[in-house]
Amino acid sequence: MEKSENTGRKGIPLLGEDFPEMKVQTTHGVIELPKAFAGKWFVLFSHPADFTPVCTTEFVAFQKRYDKFKSLNCELIGLSVDQVFSHMKWIEWIKEKLGVEIKFPIIADTGEVAEKLGLIHPGKGTNTVRAVFVVDDKGKIRIILYYPQELGRNMDEILRVVEAMQISDRNGVAMPANWPNNELIKDHVIIPPAKDLETARNRLEKARTGEFECFDWWFCHRKL
C-alpha cells in the first residue's frame, strides 16, 4: 500500500486527510479527483458490480435524490471494478427497464482506486464493498462508511450526514444523534463543551437569559 502524500503514513486515507489525487475513467469521460469537484462537496460510493439487484436499487435511490444532493452543493460519483462499457450498458438498462436516467458519473476502476481507498475487503470476497466517502469543498475526507455487499445503503442517511456536517461547519456546533429528530433536544444543535471555568459560567448565564438551553454546563444546546 502506498504512503499518504500528506502524512507519510501507510494505508488508506483517514478522516480529516486530503482525498488522494487521481485520474479516473468514468461514464462522463476522464475526470481528475478531487479537482473536478473543486469548491463542491462530493460523495464517492462504491458498489460490488453492475447488473446486480441490490446495486440497481441503490443507483435508482441515489438518482432520485440527486437534486437534493446538488441543492447541498454536493455531487455524486459511483465506482466498481467493471469496465466502462459495462457501466454504460447497465445505465442504459436502468433507463429502458426502470425509467430512471442515471445522470452522475461512474468510475470504471482497474483496481487502483479500490486499493487506494480500501474498497476490497478479503473477508467479503473480491468485489468492492459498499463504501461511502463524503468529501468537503476543500477536498478533505469528512465521513467514511462501509457496508457489506448484502446490505443496501440508506440514501436519506447519506443526505442527512452531508447536510449535518455543513451545518456543523457553518455554525461551529455539533449535531446530536438522529438529528433533526433527536429524542432529547429535537432539532436543536449542541454547543461545544466549555474548556475553562469562565466559559462554563458564561454558558449557564446564557441559559438563564434564554440564549442557550442547558442540562448542565457541559451539555448546552440551541435552535439554529
Residues forming the active site: 55
**Distance of alpha carbon 118 from alpha carbon 126, whole angstroms:** 12
- The burial class, CB within 10 Å (0-12 / 13-18 / 19+), for 79 is buried
Q: Could you count the other beta carbons within 10 Å of the beta carbon of residue 57?
A: 13
φ and ψ at residue 49, rounded to 5 degrees = -170, 155
Peptide bond into 34 cis (omega under 30): yes
Q: Which three cell numbers mark 167?
A: 451545518
* Three-class secondary structure of residue 107 per DSSP: strand
* Sheet of 213-216, strands arranged across: 189-191, 219-222, 213-216
